[in-house]
Structure 1
Amino acid sequence: MFFQRLYHDGLAQASYLVGCQKTGEGLIIDPHRDSTVYLNAAKAAGLRISAITETHIHADFVSGSRELAQITGAKLYLSAAGPAAWQYAFASSSPNVQLINDGASWMVGNLKIEVLHTPGHTPEHVIFLLTDTPVSDQPMGIFTGDVLFVGDVGRPDLLEKAAGVQGASQAAAKDLFTSLQRIKQLPDFLQVWPGHGSGSACGKALGAVPQSTLGYEKQVNWAFKQQNEADFVAAVLDGQPSPPPYFAAMKRINRDGPEPRPQSLPALSLADIKLANRLVIDLRSANDFAQASIPGALSLSSGAMLNRWAGWFVSVESTLILIGTEAEAKTAQTELSMIGIDQIEGFITPDVLAEWCKTNPSQSYQRLPAASLVDQLDQAFVLDVRTPEEYANGHGTNAVNIPLNELPKRMAEIPNDQPLIVHCQAGGRSPIAMSLLKPHFSQPMLELSDGWNGWYELQQEHHI
C-alpha cells in the first residue's frame, strides 16, 4: 500500500493519496483546486488516479474533486446523505459520479474503503475506513475529515453562521455528539487522519500534529470526555470564532460544482491599468509597500498567509489587479483560486508600478522598529491588531486592541485627530492593517515593523 499526506499550509488543509502498488490504482481524498499537486504526486508514486472522494461539502476552500475527475477520468465518490438543499447538485448530471451512503464500500485495487455517515460538522459528512486487505481484514486507519481532528472536533455552526441556515447549530451539535459516540466504538488502534491542522477555522483549537490514533484521542481529546449531550452541545458551540466571509460562497460553489480555475494572467502595461471598480492587491514585501503603492491597495504579501487574509477582505465577486513579479502573481493566482477568487484582470510588475507612480499620486507611510518610536508610543493612539488572546498575554499600557479581522467594521473606534501607530505581534499583519486604514484617515500614521515583540524587548532592555 502507498500512503501520502499532501498538506497545504495556506489552507491548513490535508488531502491524501492512497494507492495499491500491485494494481497501480490510486485514490485522492479531499483534493483542493490545484490539480497539479495530485497529478505529480501520483506520477511520482507510479499510480493512476482511478478514484476521488471527499468527506463533505467544504466551506473553507474550493474543492478540486470535480476538475481532477474530469482530467483523469477517475470515478468520483460523493456523499448522498443530508437534506436536499445540501446535497451535491451536480452529481445527477455527471456520469462519473457515484453517490455513497452509510455502509457503502468500494475497492481501490486491493484497498477497501468503507463509508460511515457522520453528520455534525455538515449534514452530509462522511468518513472513510481504510483496510489493506492483503495484510488484514481489520482497518488500519480512518480519514476523519472535519468531524475529528487531533485534539479537537469540527465546528457544527457553519451552516448557520456561514450559509445562513437559521437555528441549524444546535441540531448539528447534537448530530456531532452522536457521530463521535459512534466513532468512539471503533478500535483504539486505528490511525486518525484528519482533514485540517492548526490554523484552520473549521475548529477552535486544532493540534499541529499531523495524525493521531483513535485510542489516544479518546484519552486526551476534550470532546470524547463529554458524556452528556447537553454539556457537549454547550461546550462545542461556546467560543466558536466568526468564520471568514468567503465561507458562505464556498458552500454554494462546492455544492453546485466549481468551474475549472482560470489559467491566463496577463502582464499589464501602463496603458492597460484601469483602477475603476478594481481591487488592487500588492504582493510585494511590507517594506516595498510602505515606500510606494497605488492608493487603496491591499497589502497581502505572497505566501502561506495570502488566502487566509484574502478570505476576510476580498469578495469572490471582486475584480482584482495584482502587483508583483510574474512568479509572485502566478503563485497568488493559484492561491486565491483556492478560495474562489478567480476574477484577476492581470498583474503590474514593480517596474511598471514605478513608472505609474511618476505621474500619479502614490500611497506611502513610515514603517519603523520600536526602538525608533520609543518617544512617540505615549503620544499617539496605539492600535494593536493581534488576537484577544495575544493581547491578553502582554500589551502596551495605552494600546487599544482591535483584531485585524474586525478592523473594517470597527474603524469608528479609531480617532482621526491624533497620530496613529499600528502593530501586531511581529510585523506580518500590521501592513494589512495599514492598507485597510490608510484610505480612511488623514493623520500621521506609523507602523511598528517589529511589532509587540520589538516593543516588549525594548521594555526589557530599558526597564520601561
Structure 2
Amino acid sequence: MLLERIYDEDLSQAGYFLGCQQAGEALVVDPRRDIQVYLDLADHHGMRIAAVTETHLHADFLSGTRELAAATGATVHVSGEGGEDWQYGYAAERLHDGDALTLGSLTVTARHTPGHTPEHLILLVTDGAVADEPGYALTGDFVFSGDVGRPDLLDEVAGAQDTRFAGARQLFASLKSVFLTLPDHVQVFPGHGAGSPCGKALGALPSTTVGYERRFAWWAGHLAADDEQGFLDELLDGQPEPHAYFARMKRQNREGPSVMGERPVLRELTAQELRRGMEEGALALVDTRDVAEVHRGTVPGALSIPALGQAASHIAWAVDPETDDVELVVLAADARRAAEYGDHFVRVGVDRLIGYVTSLDALETAAPGVVSPEGLEHLRADGGTALLLDVRRRSEHAAGTIPGAAQLSAGKVLFRRDELPPREAGRVITFCQSGLRNAVASAALRRAGYDVVELEGSYAGWARWSAGQKEAAAPA
C-alpha cells in the first residue's frame, strides 16, 4: 500500500495519493488544480491514477478533481449524500454511505459524516494485503488533529440561515456514530493543518489516531458525557472569520470548476506592453516585492502580493475573477518563478496570469500614501479622512485597536465596498497587525479607485509609539 500526503502550505490544505503498487492503480483524494505533483507521483511509482474523489464541497480552495480526471482519464467519484440541495452539478459517480472503491488489494469505504457540510464523507482505507479491517481514515474537514470542522461556513459564505446549529448537532452525532466506533489504532489523515480557517484550533501535526483524539481532543469530554449542548457552545464560540472568496469557491466547486487543460507558457512582457495594457485597463501588475520595497515606489494601480507562500489566499482577496476580466502580469525573476505564482493563483480560480516582467526600472513608479503613527492624528484632523480602517480579523479588532477605527478584514474589503464610504468622500487610512495584509488590501482598494493611506508599521507600530508617548508623559 502507498499513502502520500500532498500539503499546500499556502492554504493549509492536504490532499492524498494512495494506491496498490502491485496492481499499479492509485486514487487521489482532494486534489488541487495545479496537478503536476500528482502526475509526477504516479510516474515516479509507476502507477496509473484510476480514480479521483473528494471528501466534500470545499469552500477554501478550488478543487482539482475534474482537472486531474481530464488529464488522466480517471473516474470521478463524489458524494451523493446531503440531500437535493447539496448535490454536485456535474457528471460523476456518486458515493453513498458504505460504498467502496477497490484498487488492487486496497478497499476504500465511504462513510457519511455530515456536520461540517451536509454531504461530507470520510474514507476508510483497508490494506487487504495485511488486514481485513480499516487502518486509515482520510477525514477531510470532519476531524483534524486536535479539532473538528466548523459547522457555520454555510451561514457565513453560502447564504444559509442558522444552519450552524443543525450542523453542529450533526457533527456531534457523526462523531458518536462513525468516528468513535473506529478502533483506537486507526490513523487519521485530515484535510487541513494549522492556519486553516476551516476550524479554530487545528494542530500542526500531519496525522493523529482515533485513540489520541478520543482521549485528548477538546471535544472528547463532551462526547464521553453525552453533553451535546456543551459541545455546541464550545464548537460555535470564536470560530475564525472566513474570507469573502469562500462563497465563490463553494459555488464553483458545486457547479464544477472549469478544466484548464495544458496551461500556456508565460511570456516576458516589455515595459511598453505592460504600460499600454495598464493604461487600457486590460492588464494589472502584481508587485511581488516586500512591503518596504513597495513603499519606496511601485507602479500606480499595481496589486501587492508580498509573499509567494501566501499568494493563493492574497490574490483571492485582491481579484474577483467573476467580475474582473483583467489579465495579470507578475513581477518575477524568471519564467520559472512566475509559473510558481501561477500555480498558487489557479488554486483559488484566478486563471488569467499571462506573463511576467523582471524589473520595474523602465516603468514610472510612485510611493503609495503612507503615514507614521505620529502623523496619524494630524492626518485625521485635517478633514480629508473618511475612514480609519482596521483590516485585521474581528477577534483581533475586539482585542484592541486604534480609537475610532472601523473593522473590515483584508479578505473582505474588495467584496464589501458597500460598507466603505464613497470613493469621493475622502481618504481611507488602513492598518493590520504588521503591514503585510494591509499591503494586499490597500493596493486592491487603490486599484478600485480609493484614496488609501497605509499606517506605517500598522497596529504593532502604533502600539509601540503609543506606549512610548504614555511613558514620556508619565510623571518622573
Q: Could you say which residue in structure 2 is the equivalent of 1:211?
A: 207
Amino acid at match of 2:362: E
Instruction: Tell me if 1:273 matches 2:277.
Output: yes
Q: Could you say which residue in structure 2 is the equivalent of 1:298?
A: 303
Instruction: Tell me if 1:340 matches 2:336.
Output: no
Contact 2:294 2:367 in 1 (8 A): yes
Number of aligned positions between the proteins: 445
Amino acid at match of 2:102: M
Contact 1:385 1:404 in 2 (8 A): yes
Contact 1:434 1:447 in 2 (8 A): no
Q: 1:43 to 1:459 in 2, by over 3 A?
A: farther
Identity, in percent, stands at 37
**Partners of 1:367 and 1:40 in 2: how far apart?**
46
Match of 2:328 among 321, 338, 341: 321
Contact 1:283 1:328 in 2 (8 A): no
Amino acid at match of 1:223: W
Equivalent residues in 2 for 1:43-54, closer than 5 Å: 43-54=43-54
Q: 1:458 to 1:174 in 2, by over 3 A?
A: closer
1:197 to partner: Cα distance:
0.8
Q: 1:254 to 1:285 in 2, by over 3 A?
A: same
Q: 1:129 to 1:394 in 2, by over 3 A?
A: same
Equivalent residues in 2 for 1:32-47, closer than 5 Å: 32-47=32-47
Q: 1:107 to 1:458 in 2, by over 3 A?
A: same
1:9-50 superposed Cα distances (whole Å, 9 cap, x missing partner):
111100111222222222211111111011112222333222
1:427 to partner: Cα distance:
4.0
Match of 2:451 among 429, 441, 461: 441
Q: 1:70 to 1:2 in 2, by over 3 A?
A: same
Contact 2:126 2:134 in 1 (8 A): yes
DSSP 3-state at the match of 2:38? helix
1:185 to partner: Cα distance:
1.7
Q: 1:288 to 1:105 in 2, by over 3 A?
A: same
**Partners of 1:258 and 1:400 in 2: how far apart?**
38
Contact 2:373 2:461 in 1 (8 A): no
Q: Could you say which residue in structure 1 is the equivalent of 2:383?
A: none
DSSP 3-state at the match of 2:213? helix
Equivalent residues in 2 for 1:375-414, closer than 5 Å: 376=375, 385-387=391-393, 389=395, 400=405, 402=407, 403-405=409-411, 407=413, 409=416, 411-412=420-421
Greater mean alpha carbon deviation, residues 445-454 or residues 255-264: 445-454
Q: 1:283 to 1:223 in 2, by over 3 A?
A: same
**Partners of 2:176 and 2:282 in 1: how far apart?**
51
TM-score by length of 1: 0.83
1:324-361 superposed Cα distances (whole Å, 9 cap, x missing partner):
124443222221111112234x345144x44341xxxx
1:286 to partner: Cα distance:
2.4
Greater mean alpha carbon deviation, residues 223-232 or residues 196-205: 223-232
Contact 1:249 1:316 in 2 (8 A): no
**Aligned-CA RMSD value:** 3.4
Greater mean alpha carbon deviation, residues 386-395 or residues 18-27: 386-395
1:98-121 superposed Cα distances (whole Å, 9 cap, x missing partner):
322111112211112111111111
1:171 to partner: Cα distance:
2.4
Unaligned runs of 5+ in 1: 92-96
Q: Could you say which residue in structure 2 is the equivalent of 1:253?
A: 252
Q: Could you say which residue in structure 2 is the equivalent of 1:63?
A: 63
1:127 to partner: Cα distance:
0.5
**Partners of 1:261 and 1:216 in 2: how far apart?**
41
Unaligned runs of 5+ in 2: 381-387
DSSP 3-state at the match of 1:196? coil
Q: Could you say which residue in structure 2 is the equivalent of 1:108?
A: 103
Greater mean alpha carbon deviation, residues 245-254 or residues 167-176: 167-176
Contact 1:191 1:211 in 2 (8 A): yes
DSSP 3-state at the match of 1:440? coil
1:126 to partner: Cα distance:
0.7
1:170 to partner: Cα distance:
2.7
1:302 to partner: Cα distance:
4.5
1:366 to partner: Cα distance:
7.0
Equivalent residues in 2 for 1:365-380, closer than 5 Å: 365=368, 376=375
**Partners of 1:223 and 1:107 in 2: how far apart?**
33
1:229-272 superposed Cα distances (whole Å, 9 cap, x missing partner):
34433433333334222222222222222222262244444245
Match of 2:315 among 305, 310, 317: 310
Q: Could you say which residue in structure 1 is the equivalent of 2:23?
A: 23
1:396-433 superposed Cα distances (whole Å, 9 cap, x missing partner):
7x69474434555565599x99996x654444323224
1:283 to partner: Cα distance:
2.4
1:389 to partner: Cα distance:
4.9
**Partners of 2:355 and 2:133 in 1: how far apart?**
53
1:380 to partner: Cα distance:
6.0
Instruction: Tell me if 1:172 matches 2:182.
Output: no
TM-score by length of 2: 0.81
